[in-house]
Amino acid sequence: MDLFENDLFASQDEQQVSIADGAMLLRHFVQQQKNASLNEAVLLADLNYILENSSLRQMITPGGFTMSVAMTNCGALGWVSDRKGYRYTTLDPSTGLPWQPMPASFLALASATAAQAGYADFVPDACLINQYQPATRMSLHQDKDEQDFSQPIVSVSLGVPAIFLFGGAKRTDVTRKILLQHGDVIVWGGKTRLNYHGVTPLKADSHAAFGACRVNLTFRKAA
């Protein structure tokens, strides 16, 4: 299949895959958590609560384009984009109120996966929630609005699978395709912290809990 020809990992069954020095894929990590405080049902209930109390919105890029991915945040800081630029805010611009607090299950998932990938003591202060409808994509970008690039990023995929594009330090570097399925977590830092990456248009599919959508949780230490 053409789509996966650059995917080093699609045919492998390993639970834990090193993508590059500093970046690791933990497959189906969410489903494997069975603690009272961290398990799939608690995580999805906590996510639903956030989405019910904070609206997903399509933000405007500094260049004036409407992003196709719908976003909200939880945690002390939230990532926002508008004509003035990209930044982190303590208040949700659509309400003027603080973002919803980060649920304990989210914190537990972020620090457990970071530790598993070799990043001890990761305590995120920001969780960006991205919702992809069918055909929605995210173009190649770097995550560079955070203050301390020694801190990793934890990215959790839920719902319909997506193809993640993982490039290099330059926008023109070749990208590899990585299949991200429900419950997969990428921990990303070290030498790859500023690598370009994106998501190809979401294919029509269905997931029991998410319908036609994919939801991505991106945990960061922004401040």
Query: Site residues (CB under 6 A) for ligand MD6?
Result: 130, 138, 143, 153, 155, 164, 186, 188, 197, 199, 216, 218
With CB atoms as reference, the residue minimizing the distance to Fe ion is 143
Is residue 146 part of the contact set for Fe ion (CB under 5 A)? Answer: no
Binding-site partner at residue 155 among Fe ion, ligand MD6, none, CB < 5 to 8 Å by type = ligand MD6
Partner from Fe ion, ligand MD6, none binding residue 130, C-beta < 5-8 Å depending on class: ligand MD6
Neighbours of 140 (CB within 10 A): 16
Binding residues for Fe ion, how many (CB under 5 A)?
A: 1
Q: Which does 138 bind (CB under 5 to 8 A by kind): Fe ion, ligand MD6, none?
A: ligand MD6
From 40, 143, 146, 184, residue interacting with Fe ion (rule: CB under 5 A): 143
What are 175's two structure tokens?
């990208």
Rounded least distance, CB 42 to Fe ion, Å: 26
* Position 125 contacts Fe ion (CB under 5 A): no
Q: If contact means CB under 5 to 8 A according to the sort of partner, which of Fe ion, ligand MD6, none does residue 136 touch?
A: none
Mark the segment that binds Fe ion (CB under 5 A) among 85-93, 127-135, 138-146, 207-215: 138-146
